[in-house]
Amino acid sequence: MGYYIKVEPNVKIYVEDLNPDSNNAILFLHGWPGSHKLFEYQFNQLPKMGYRCIGIDIRGFGESDKPYNCYGYDSLADDVKCVIDSLKLSNITLAGHSTGGAIAIRYMARHNGYGVSKLALFAAAAPSLIKRPNFPCGLEEETVLQIIQGTYTDRPKMLKDFGDIFFYQHITEAFSNWFFQLGLQAAGWATAAIANTWINEVLFCDLGAIKVPTLIIHGIHDKVVPFELGQVQEQNIRNSKLVPFRYSGHGTFYDQREKFNEELVKFIEE
């Protein structure tokens, strides 16, 4: 079941809601530059196991509205709050991949974890995706600037290059094309704006504000969000557990989808 939720007077967010009668909900936040459809291989299985799976397309991406401004983590976290309020959700597992993980972390700090009983982070782009003077982990800032430049000059090529480093396991050409089309569905300005957010915002203080049990899944071969960021998250989030995925890159939810689903369910049921 899909529908829209208004988060601002002129902005609606698309929500996919599977098995809505279940009281055991997982709210999924996708990464850049995809949509809720990245979690297809979770949505295929988890509702059959009794879970309510809610996937939102963050503003600017997928089937959501694509305003020209407001792509900072505060705005994106406030959109999540609107969804949680509108659906009257409580005691949910908030699950975020990559940029979606960063949004989930900001949500937990900014809204004091409202409605969330557990947090699951998958290759979260936090506390900083880029290296900084006192933070040697992450990507070089120049790498992100090249992504932004590529977005403005040849977005299809930028997306194709990004797709080539996303997964560790072999993917078919058909799957690669599917992944590419998800990225094209986003607005170019939103694609660039989120990349700018990686540079302009940090989440160091946010990590310490998380008070719920937290699962961290991270592929050791991740070329997008280096594995060391997952280690930093575990060190700075109380009551967190890092599960390294030894045969995964950035897309753990597909590279090792059976193990991914098993670890997520085991964590929720603990």
* Active-site residue (options: 222, 240, 248, 255): 222
Catalytic residue among 64, 75, 98, 128: 98
Q: Is 85 a catalytic residue?
A: no
- Tell me the C-alpha distance between 234 and 208, whole Å: 11
What torsion, rounded to 10 degrees, do the Cα atoms 173, 177, 183, 187 define? 150
Is residue 74 annotated as part of the catalytic site, yes or no?
no
Ordered DSSP codes for the chain: -EEEEEEETTEEEEEEEESTT-S-EEEEEPPTT--GGGGHHHHTTGGGGT-EEEEEPPTTSTTS---SS--SHHHHHHHHHHHHHHTT--SEEEEEETHHHHHHHHHHHHTTTTTEEEEEEES---S-SB-BTTB--SB-HHHHHHHHHHHHHHHHHHHHHHHHHH-SS---HHHHHHHHHHHHTS-HHHHHHHHHHHHH---HHHHHT--S-EEEEEETT-SSS-HHHHHHHHHHSTTEEEEEETT-SS-HHHHTHHHHHHHHHHHHH-
Measured CA to CA, the distance from residue 265 to residue 270 in angstroms comes to: 9
Q: Which of 30, 36, 218, 250 is catalytic?
A: 250
> Which residues are catalytically annotated?
98, 222, 250
